[in-house]
Amino acid sequence: MMIRTKEVTAAADSGAVALTTESDTDRNAGRSVAVRNKSGGVVWLGGQDVSPENGWDLPDGEDISLDLFAGDRLFAVGDPGVAVSLRVFQVGV
């Protein structure tokens, strides 16, 4: 079993930041990811083109768990003026 944690940060209004890397995509099948928002504002989760208009909102202090499949990549962007600060916990085989 593989367990990995990391902090992901990005400056306010800097665009989408990757929570999973390109090299993760082939290994993502069967992995679960938990994401906790520590940004002080709303962060939006989704694909590479994530925005407040098309993403899944994650309020400050909240977390979400997702199951990933091969080829999946996860990105985040903050509300306007909100710097992204997330803790990512990934478990898999």
Number of other residues whose CB lies within 10 A of the CB of residue 48? 10
Residue 58's beta-bridge partner residues?
A: 43
> What is the rounded (10 degree) CA torsion for 75, 5, 25, 22?
60
What are the pLDDT digits (tens) for 11-51? 999 999 998 866 555 555 667 889 999 999 999 999 999 99
Alpha-carbon distances, residue 67 vs 2, 4, 11 (angstroms)? 14, 15, 27
Report how many domains make up the chain. Answer: 1
Q: Specify the CATH number for the domain of residue 72.
A: 2.60.120.770
- This prediction has a pTM of 0.86
Question: How many whole angstroms separate alpha carbon 82 and alpha carbon 77?
Answer: 9
What are the pLDDT digits (tens) for 29-40? 667 889 999 999
Structural domain containing residue 73: 2-92
Question: How many whole angstroms separate alpha carbon 14 and alpha carbon 70?
Answer: 27
